[in-house]
Amino acid sequence: MAVTLLNPAGLPVVDVYRQVSVASGSKLVFVAGQVGWDADGVTVGAGDLAAQVEQCYVNIATALAAAGGSFADVARLTCYVVDWTPDLMPTLLEGIARASARLGITQPPPASMLGVAALDVPEHLVEIEATAVLD
């Protein structure tokens, strides 16, 4: 593996991501922000944040596989959520949990989450981009 994920002593342990990733590979993969649409461009889970988060992860996994990688190679995720408020956290976490179970993700990489006013179309509630490092 080109990416080692850590939760160092002195930083809080967060269930949905690790605090640090150490990348030692030689091939960088930058996955464009993925939204909750399927291969035909149809929005999955209109109005359902958890379903769209899950689809974003599935789309990222598809993109990584095309580059010869997987979620085990992800060094960082950035998540953009429309009209974010803290009460949306359980729904966001539900989507991450469903995607993790579906894709076999056991060690989530470092992640940042940002609230935004809007995305590309009104139906999209979340967009997630990934950076991966491959050997």
Per-residue pLDDT tens digits for 7-16 = 999 999 988 8
Share of the chain above pLDDT 70, in %: 99
Residue 25: which pLDDT band, with cuts at 50, 70 and 90? Answer: confident
What DSSP string runs through 54-94? HHHHHHHHHHHHHTT--GGGEEEEEEEEET--GGGHHHHHH
Model's pTM, two decimal places? 0.91
Find the mean pLDDT for residues 48-72.
97
User: Are the C-beta atoms of residues 100 and 108 closer than 8 Å to each other?
Assistant: yes
